[in-house]
A = this chain, B = another copy of it.
Amino acid sequence: MDAAFQYIEGNKERFLQELQEFLRFASVSAQDRHKQDVIDCAAWLKDHMEDIGLEASLVETSGHPIVQGRCAGQSSRKLVIYGHYDVQPEDPLDEWKTPPFDPVIKDGFLYGRGATDDKGQLFAHVKAIESLLKTQGQLPCEILFLIEGEEECGGSGLEDFIKQQKDKLLKDVIGVIVSDCDMYDEQTPAITYSLRGCAALEVTVNGPSCDVHSGGFGGVIGNPATALANIIAACIGTDGKIKIPGFYDDVRDMQKWEQDNISQLNYDDDNLARQLAIPKVTGESGFPSLARMWHRPTFDVNGIYGGYCGQGGKTIIPAKATAKISMRLVPNQQPEKIFKQTEEYIRSVCPDYVSLEIANRGGTKPVTFETDDALIQAGVEALQAGFGSKSVYIGGGGSIPVVSTFWEELQCPIVLMGVGLETDGAHSPNECFKIDNFINGAKAGAHLMANIK
């Protein structure tokens, strides 16, 4: 591996410039106005893969295209490298210290939307294969990049592709590598052995046909914003306990080793509170923070709006109010069942003087992998080689929708070896990626690809 690692070190500056180029595409998949940026970004990545010697193509889907890159191996067995080139919306724009799509390097970090989630992390693997192609003979097995453009918008393009190709292109897949998650901390790389699922919905409470004067009508017209507030409060109190009947029914208890693992990791709540400038961490009582982050479900309002939101005041009763809600799920909760329970409950608590619209915004099943699997152990060794430190096993609080599809359809091991940091600000303003992690991640990727047979 020395030659490949030297190549990575020797080409570090160029790799960074290329990553900056990749970050300049505003590939926000959830917003129609960025459709062309998404397409341009996919085309750039395909061209780049070709430039470094992969056989690359764009796979059309019902939504944004998948970038596919292949590199033949000594056998027909395939190792899939998953990533996504789409990014979250950049707003609130005024909280960015540098432009989200004009990446800037500062103090060992690269700042820009997508830096860590997931362009930087997937690009480490692109640079890994480049280093192997330039310094080694043919790899033991085929490397197949599948880089989607719909991770942040809940599209089904890659899911459909996996289902279609499971007995064709994906027949000989022996495992999937995913770097779209975090290390445990700045010093400690990690294998993420579980991911929470997700169920998302949008609730709109409709009142009068237009905003009306709160003086003239206050007292006789139901207020959609206060009704929505009551609905949300009926779903979750200030104690973090979710009040939707049956919501916890299918939640699997943590295993003994998971409880011990969390105890040993000794997570620093106060440090997190300091980092995020909050008075204290909080959540469901009876569970330590890491358990609440990894193994317990949640109910969060991602956005709420209704009525007058401008400067000054406007004494109206709003015509409507909307909440975007997402719930994180854990084994063995099922997104569709949770959606149904939630919808029924919300309808039952909604007052009869307003009307409701509830939209299902998609779901992802939670997943858990056995840590003693051979591919996961190869991941542990690769992280040791790339970072020079022993990794730990962690859970992932977020969801990677396609991971549950890979898991269900291909029934092969999936190695989640993220090289981001919790403090990278994924989905937040001033998202960044530590340059050392980019380089060490490329080394770990190269180690893994060279050693999987």
Complex contact B314–A302 (CB within 8 A): yes
Tell me if A83 counts as interface (CB < 8 A to partner B).
no
Which residue of the partner chain B has the closest CB to A289? B220
Q: Is A30 an interface residue (CB 8 A)?
A: yes
CB-defined contacts of A219 to chain B, threshold 8 Å:
240, 283-284, 289, 292-293, 296, 298, 328, 397
Q: How far is the CB of A81 from chain B (nearest CB, A)?
A: 21
**In the bound complex, CA of A317 to CA of B430 (Å):** 16
Q: Determine the chain B residues whose CB is within 8 A of the CB of A283 once the complex forms.
A: 219-220
Flag whether A244 is at the interface (Cβ < 8 A): no
List residues 291-325 of chain A with CB under 8 A from any CB of chain B.
Answer: 292-293, 296, 298-319, 321-324
| Cβ-defined contact, A353 with B302, below 8 A | no
B314 touches A89 (CB 8 A): yes
With A304-B225, A304-B229 in contact, is A279–B212 under 8 Å at CB? Answer: no
Number of residues of chain A lying within 8 A (CB) of chain B: 107
A216's contact among B210, B233, B293, B308, by CB below 8 Å, is which? B293
Measured CA separation A305–B302 after assembly (Å): 11
Cβ A282 vs Cβ B426 within 8 A: no
Report whether A226 and B301 are in contact in the complex, using a CB–CB cutoff of 8 Å: yes
A396 within 8 A of B: yes
In the complex, A238 Cα to B427 Cα: how many Å? 34
A227-B238 contact, Cβ under 8 Å, with A307-B324, A427-B212 = yes
Contact across chains for B399 and A215 when beta carbons are under 8 A apart? yes
Residues of B within 8 A of A425 (CB): 210, 212
B182–A216 contact, CB under 8 A? yes
> Contacting A233 at CB < 8 Å: which of B208, B230, B318?
B230
Q: Does A453 contact B (CB under 8 A)?
A: no
A52 contacts the other chain (CB 8 A): no
Interface locus among A68-76, A270-278, A437-445: A270-278
* A residues 116-173 in Cβ contact with B at 8 Å: 153-154
Q: How far is it, in angstroms, between the C-alpha of A298 and the C-alpha of B217 when the chains are bound? A: 10
CB distance A317 to B305 under 8 Å?
no
Question: Whose C-beta in chain B lies nearest to the C-beta of A321?
Answer: B304
Query: Do A303 and B300 contact each other (CB < 8 Å), given the known contacts A398-B216, A399-B215?
Result: no
Least CB distance from A91 to B in Å reads 7
Contacts of A351 in B (CB 8 A): 238, 282
* Contact status A216-B303, CB under 8 Å: no
Bound-complex Cα distance A430 to B212 (A): 11
Which single member of B92, B196, B301, B313 contacts A215 (CB below 8 Å)?
Answer: B196
CA–CA, A284 and B218, complex, Å: 11
A248 to chain B, nearest CB (A): 13
Do A153 and B217 touch across chains, with their CB atoms under 8 A apart? no
Q: Return A259 CB to nearest CB of chain B, in Å.
A: 16
CB-CB < 8 A to A240: which residues of B?
Answer: 219, 222
Bound-complex Cα distance A95 to B304 (A)? 20
Residue among B238, B326, B422 making CB contact with A313, cutoff 8 Å: B326
In the complex, whether A187 has a CB less than 8 A from a CB of chain B is no
A310-B31, A311-B31 known; A303-B427 Cβ under 8 A: no
What are 15 A-B pairs at a CB distance below 8 A? Answer: A200-B313, A200-B315, A209-B276, A212-B428, A215-B328, A226-B238, A229-B232, A229-B301, A238-B349, A278-B353, A300-B315, A301-B318, A301-B321, A302-B317, A303-B310
Q: A219-B283, A225-B302, A304-B318 are in contact. List 13 more A-B contacts (CB 8 A).
A: A31-B312, A202-B313, A210-B429, A218-B326, A218-B397, A219-B240, A219-B298, A221-B276, A229-B232, A281-B353, A305-B305, A307-B324, A316-B428
A-B complex: 10 closest residue pairs judged by Cβ atoms: A215-B398, A30-B312, A233-B233, A219-B292, A229-B232, A303-B307, A225-B301, A218-B298, A282-B353, A303-B308
Give residues in A with beta carbon < 8 Å to B: 30-32, 88-89, 91-92, 95, 153-154, 182, 196, 198, 200, 202, 207-223, 225-234, 236-238, 240, 269, 272, 276-284, 289, 292-293, 296, 298-319, 321-324, 326, 328, 349, 351-355, 361, 396-399, 422, 425-430
